[in-house]
Amino acid sequence: MWGDKRYHSWNYHLRKTFGTKVFKLPLDAGFTCPNRDGTYSTEGCIYCSSRGSGDFAGNVNYSLEKQYLQTREMMHKKWPDAKYIAYFQAFTNTYASESILRELYNTALSFPNVVGISIATRPDCLPAEVLDLLEELNNKTYLWVELGLQTVHDKTASLINRGHDYRCFIDGLNKLQERNINTCAHVIYGLPGETISDMWSTSKTIATLPLQGIKFHLLHVLKGTPLAKIYQQGGLEFMDFDAYIKLVVDTLEILPDDMIIHRLTGDGPRDLLLGPMWSQKKWEILNAIDHELLNRSSKQGAKRHDFLLHNRIINNTICYKG
C-alpha cells in the first residue's frame, strides 16, 4: 500500500502528493517559548536543549533565506528536482504576534521550490488570531501544525516540566481540527518514571484521536539539560533497543492506515549525546522496525479493528456500570 514500507511513511505521502522528492528544511526563526521566558518557567522541558529542539535547524544568526539556501544547496546536489517544505522547528513557532508570524511564514513560502510549511508549536500557544492566520495559510498552501504531546499522563508531564496537561493538548487539537488543519502529534517513549504499560496507554490514546500524523521519539539525554542531571545522579534508566522496536510496531498496528508516520525515532547531536548511544544508529532502528513488521506479517492498522472493538466494549461496560 505504501511503496516498500508496511506503514504510511512521510516520504511516501509527500511523493504521492507532489510527484517528486520533498524535503523539510528546518529553520530557526528566533522564537522563544513560554516555558523558557518565565511565563511558565525558565527551565524548559527537562529534555530540551538550549536550541529548543532545533538542534538540526539552521543558524539563528542567519536570515531565513540564508538558512534555506544553505540547506537547499546540500540537498540540491543529490536531488536537483526536489521540492521543499519550510519547517519552523526551533522552540514555539506560534509564540509571537500575528503580524510577526505572518511576515515570517510568507517569507519562507516565497523561497524557490517551497511547496508548503510545517510549524512546530505547543497546544497552549494557539490564540484566536493565530488560528485565523493558520486557517488562512491552510487555504492557500500545504500546511502541517506539529503539536507536542509527549505523554498522556499528567504526572509525567509535570515531572518533565511540560507546562501543560493532556486536556490542554486536546483543546489545541480540537481548535486545529475545527479548521481542517493537518495536525501531527509528537510522542516520546522512555520518559522518566514511565513503564511500558504507561507508554502503551499513550499509544492507545493516540490511536483514538483525530490526528493526521504522528512523530515517535526515543528519549535521549543531551548534555546541559536538566535531564542530564537526573541521568548523572542515577535517576533515569534508558529504554532498550528491543523494547523500543516492539512498542513502535505494536503502536503502528493499531493506528488508522491513513495516519501519516512522520518519524519513527529521534536522535541528538553526537557531541551532546549522553545516551542511549544506540539512538545514533538510526538506520538500524528503522530496519529493525521493517523486519519486525515483516516477521509478524503485519502492517500499520493490522490490529485496528480488534483494538476499536475492544475499546468499544470497555467503554460500554464502563458506561453501563456507571
User: pLDDT value at position 49?
Assistant: 75
> Among residues of the chain, what percentage have pLDDT more than 90?
82
pLDDT bin (cut points 50, 70, 90) of residue 77 is: confident
Q: How many of the other CB atoms lie within 10 Å of CB of 295?
A: 9
Strand ranges, E, within the chain: 22-27, 83-88, 114-121, 142-150, 182-189, 213-218, 221-222, 260-263, 273-275
> Three-class SS of residue 244?
helix
Kindly report, residue by residue over 18-70, the tens digit of the pLDDT: 999 999 999 999 999 999 999 988 888 999 876 656 566 678 889 999 999 98
User: pLDDT value at position 318?
Assistant: 41
Kindly report, residue by residue over 114-154, the tens digit of the pLDDT: 999 999 999 999 999 999 999 999 999 999 999 999 999 99
User: pLDDT value at position 270?
Assistant: 87
Kindly report, residue by residue over 221-242, the tens digit of the pLDDT: 999 999 999 999 998 999 999 9
Contacts (Cβ under 8 Å, ≥6 apart) of 265? 216, 217, 218, 244, 248, 279, 282, 285, 286
User: pLDDT value at position 320?
Assistant: 36
The whole-number average pLDDT for the span 80-100 is: 95
Mean per-residue pLDDT over the chain, rounded: 92
Q: Which domains occur in the chain, in start order?
A: 10-320 (3.20.20)
